[in-house]
Amino acid sequence: MHGMRIIVIVFQADRVIVAMGSGCEAIEETVNAMNAQGEKVGLVKVRLYRPFDVDAFFIALPESASAVTILDRTKEPGSVGEPLYTDVCAAYIDKGMAPPKIYGGRYGLSSKEFTPSMIKAVYDNMTASEPKKRFTVGINDDVTHMSLPVAEDFKAEPEGNIRAKFWGLGSDGTVGANQSAIKIIGDNTEKYAQGYFAYDSKKSGGVTISHLRFIQKSIQRTYCIDAADYKAALAKAESGLADAKLALEQRDAAALGQTVNLMLGELNGSHLGFYPNRRCRSDRPDWNITTAHLGVRFEPWHIKVQTIA
């Protein structure tokens, strides 16, 4: 098996995804979660695409598979199908074998997220009464209407996973502090650490979002955090305010660090002013809103960012 190997060994898998690249980590995590709930799903992870090893593919593919979905992270307009999809179809023809039900899908287009909810939608499509033979997942395709419906309530992250999300401004020290925290925790504890940092197009003063995870075993999550255990809005980020508001509305705790006379804006219908060392009340009793001194000062005509060690 030079080119391929089966990652998640499910001897009686009836639905299998064939994919390659970083998306396989999230698929493997989802397969583990679904099988723990009594499902019978599997994954064939392509490690070497060229040359395409037909014999290795059929060794890896469970014989019990009645439906196979091939996922490509590309779109080739005008073609019969995307590269991996057409190779798998050609493999069955080359071997003269009767294929199972084969579906082709695209994911991750325009750098969109690929989450467990989307992966579960791919598996559910294989058992649907009217499955989509060709589809796109992760974007709303309002032209060809090939998008799969995705339920956002499926979580595959294991217990004990600690998730933190920080909103800040470029050059305020938030990203650097989070990077140091990851290194310290990773070097001095038994936990695995993961960090992803999203930046605004303008450097200093632009919006930054830090996604941090800590867990006892290897981290397979290749997607951003949507539901964090701890959230901190460390600066008034105009373009990120909607995300902060949504996080507050959906979750039960948030720490919002602000400076003197800084108004966060309208949250849940109430305009909240934040001042140092003063606990603020809100109309949501399950919010735990606190404040702190930070090195960010807002002035009437411009933003001045100061980093405090």
Taking only the tens place, the pLDDT of each residue in 122-163 is 999 999 999 999 999 998 888 888 999 998 788 888 888 899
CA distance 88 to 102: 9
* Percentage of the chain exceeding pLDDT 70: 72
CA gap 168, 176 in Å, rounded: 11
Structural domain includes residue 87: yes
Q: Residue 302 pLDDT > 70, yes or no?
A: no
pLDDT above 50: residue 280: no
Cβ atoms of 248 and 219 closer than 8 Å: no
Confidence band of 206 (pLDDT split at 50, 70, 90): confident
Q: Give the model's pLDDT for residue 234.
A: 64
Residue 193 in any domain: the answer is yes
Radius of gyration of the chain (CA): 23
Q: Where residue 278 falls among pLDDT bands split at 50, 70, 90?
A: very low
What band does 12 get if pLDDT is binned at 50, 70 and 90? confident
3-state helix, strand, coil split of the chain in percent (to 5) is: 25, 25, 50
Domain count of the fold of the chain: 2
Per the listing, tokens 């309530």 go with 153
* Partner residues linked to 274 by β-bridges: 262
State the Cα angle at 127 between 124 and 129, rounded to 5°.
115
Contact 270, 282 (CB under 8 A): yes
Whole-number average pLDDT of the chain: 77
Residue 144 in any domain: the answer is: no
pLDDT for residue 266: 33
Note the pLDDT of residue 277: 34
63, pLDDT greater than 60:
yes
Residue 253: pLDDT band (50, 70, 90) is: very low
pLDDT confidence of residue 267: 34
Q: How many CB atoms lie within 10 A of CB 275?
A: 13
Vertex 160: Cα angle to 159 and 165 (nearest 5): 105
- Percent of the chain surpassing pLDDT 90: 44
With 50 as the cut, is the pLDDT of residue 240 above it? Answer: no
- Judge whether 155 lies within some domain: no
- What is the domain-level CATH number for residue 190? 3.40.920
What SS3 class is residue 214? strand
Distance CA 87, CA 17 (A): 14
- Distance separating alpha carbons of residues 37 and 177, to the nearest angstrom: 39
SS3 state at 24 = helix
End-to-end C-alpha distance for the chain, whole angstroms: 53
Instruction: Give the Cβ contact number of residue 30 at 10 Å.
Output: 28
With respect to residue 146, please indicate whether it lies within any of the assigned structural domains.
Answer: no
- Whether cis (ω within 30° of 0) applies to the bond prior to 51 is yes
Burial class (CB in 10 A: 0-12, 13-18, 19+), 283: exposed
Give the pLDDT score at 157: 84
**Model confidence pLDDT, tens digit, residues 23-59:** 999 999 999 999 999 999 999 999 888 888 899 899 8
Selected residue with higher pLDDT from 97 and 262: 97
Mean pLDDT of 276-302: 39
Identify which has the larger pLDDT, 35 or 262.
35
3-class secondary structure for 256-273? ECCCCCEEEEEECCEEEE
Q: Are residues 194 and 263 in the same domain?
A: yes
Query: Where does a domain end: 72, 102, 137?
Result: 137
Asked if residue 30 is part of any domain, the answer here is: yes
Domain of residue 194, residue span: 162-305
Q: Three-state DSSP class for 64?
A: coil
Asked whether residue 151 is assigned to any structural domain, the reply reads no
